[in-house]
Structure 1
């Protein structure tokens, strides 16, 4: 049994060329949103099962790389073109040499992936839904159905998604939704990324079905809206080395804390620390657990006026509510 089961439909094989005093240094890793989240979860000593579709020789290489990182891989294997990229960073900037999203996942593979998620997450404390390599890789309705089925079976479901997949998990009643302010604007949910507009969008997402909403705002404090209201979470800024993967590290930190029984408002402080440390590093989804724990002590949390009355969706229990119920059951037993 793993603490967390992650849906990562199409991991990416990443090849990056870096400068080296004696020539070039070539790095080969597994990558993609779900992989970066799983990597950070492992750094935080959380066990992870990843359900994915691995395609062709790229997929066979990815399986070995993922297992070498201590991730349990439940893979649907197919022939074809897998997701991969080749980037050149020898001049200090990331130059794209080649990028391939890979083949779309066919109906039979989607069915097998769906079944793998239901089976693999049976004893997990949380399920994390991440996005595929490309928009056409897997239909968004899979996320809606999976959210409904996982929650009906008692799973805590967290999603880090945007676009049609965000709409799908909200319709399915996701427990915690994480999204960035850029994604909100890209999806037309806000016109300007001001706090009032973002807050209004967060209330709307809760009204439509999300239990709690976490919005990251690049270097600005992130916002959390739950049953108890709106909070702002901030860290001292760091000089950025690599911004990619910071949001995924944040999500992983939140999930790690939730699996340990922390309330969401406390869990986001671990996520903020993990995300902040990640921007200082070359590796995506990386960071030392002790450094993250120390950095967490510098996270500041403050209440903000909501500006828009909001009630929890009828019949829903928030993640904090679930934690409280669990504590009550433990005391009674």
Structure 2
């Protein structure tokens, strides 16, 4: 495919990652290191795609008070900055990275107040997305934004002929999945908990996850990818139901691994890979991201090596 790639991040964030030897609740800690990275799901996707050699157009809403780190990232990676500036500051997400356990504890602050006016401006900025383009709608919504904002943007982009991948959760995801079939996203990437929340039931086993993904497919979502943490990821596309896994990784930071997975799926779509190779590449993006703090990927040979190490298992049709 030769179309442009667009990412939409309505609620970007500055990710402040504080690295600790071990996180002990109620104690005073001496940080090993602290970094601040421009983030938010769509921004992270655009950053990873740029490292892979696929520049993207970054759309969304940036608070004027602290937009500098985003502008620096876009300039450094040659990402086209199409973010709208709004009053106030982008939210700050504090990530406490525990080196002892490998876990990360998140404390996410709210973003600037927005509403229908900002959504209308965002809508207008996407009107030149055309047939054959790829669009990634990712992340949460800022305070005041209508809960169906992503659903409305998805419907608009589908009318314009774009292929749409959505990575969101809660009410924004539910609203998009309530769209008519022609206005549904082409691909969704929930994690197991987000999928269970949408389904309104627990999904304890892989068969449960696969059946729920098949249900989304029958509704009209062409490809469903469910991230499963240490178990890997499940892809349902056409008749294929594939479970991908990698040997255990020792993460430096788990922040943004899901966003890297989305970037891998987007890159695979752009490169017209089949379902199996798409899942391999997406898993490699996610695993490679585990070794980096911030929305960055290592050089291409390392990602290719990881992709070759991905094990795929075919699951029975659900």
TM range (shorter): 0.7 to 0.9
Which deviates more, 223-232 or 267-276?
223-232
C-alpha contact (below 8 Å) 1:5/1:124 kept by paired residues? no
Contact 1:177 1:213 in 2 (8 A): yes
Deviations, residues 239-291 of structure 1 (Å, cap 9, x unaligned): 23322211111110110111122233321110011111222333344332220
Structure 2 residue 309 is the aligned partner of structure 1 residue 298:
yes
Residue number in structure 2 paired with 1:13: 14
**Is 1:281 aligned to 2:300, yes or no?**
no
Structure 1 partner of 2:84: 76
Whether 1:242 aligns to 2:243 is no
When residues 90 and 79 of structure 1 are mapped into structure 2, their CA distance, relative to the original with a 3 A threshold, is same
Residues 11, 133 of structure 1: 8 Å contact kept: no
Cross-structure match for 2:48: 40
- Summarize the Cα distance change of 1:181–1:37 in structure 2 as closer, same or farther, 3 Å threshold: same
Which residue of 2 is the match for residue 65 of structure 1? 73
CA RMSD between the two structures: 2.7
Provide the rounded CA distance (Å) in 1 between the counterparts of 2:104 and 2:262. Answer: 24
1:208 to partner: Cα distance: 2.5
Partner of 1:106: 115
Partner of 2:26: none
Q: Is the 8 Å Cα contact of residues 58 and 80 (structure 2) preserved in structure 1? A: yes
Give, in whole Å, the separation in 2 of the partners of 1:132 and 1:286: 23
CA distance in 1, matches of 2:108, 2:238: 42
Please say if residues 189 and 201 of structure 1, whose CA atoms lie closer than 8 Å, have aligned partners that are also in contact: no
Cα deviation, residue 99, structure 1? 4.9
Partner residue in 2 for 1:315: none
Gaps of 5+ in 1: 308-333
2:235 pairs with 1:224? yes
- Deviations along 1:164-213, whole A, 9 cap, x unmatched? 22223322311111111122234454413211211121122123331111
SS at 2:67 equivalent: helix
Count of aligned positions = 302
- Superposition pairs of residues 120-131 of structure 1, within 5 angstroms: 121-122=129-130, 125-131=133-139
Structure 1-normalised TM-score? 0.81
Cα displacement (A) at 1:32: 1.5
Residue 154 of structure 1 aligns with which residue?
161
* 1:175 has 2:186 as partner: yes
What does residue 145 of structure 2 align with?
A: 138
Q: Structure 1 203/82 Cα, relative in aligned 2: closer, same or farther at 3 Å?
A: same
SS where residue 162 of structure 2 aligns?
Answer: coil
Q: Is 2:63 the partner of 1:55?
A: yes
Given the two structures, how large is their TM-score scaled by the length of structure 2? 0.84
Which is worse superposed, 2-11 or 37-46? 2-11
Contact kept? 1:163, 1:187, Cα under 8 Å:
yes
| In structure 1, distance between residues paired with 2:222 and 2:272 | 17
Instruction: Identify if the C-alpha distance between structure 1 residues 241 and 61 changes in structure 2 by more than 3 Å, giving closer, same or farther.
Output: closer
User: Contact 2:3 / 2:134 at 8 angstroms: preserved in 1?
Assistant: no
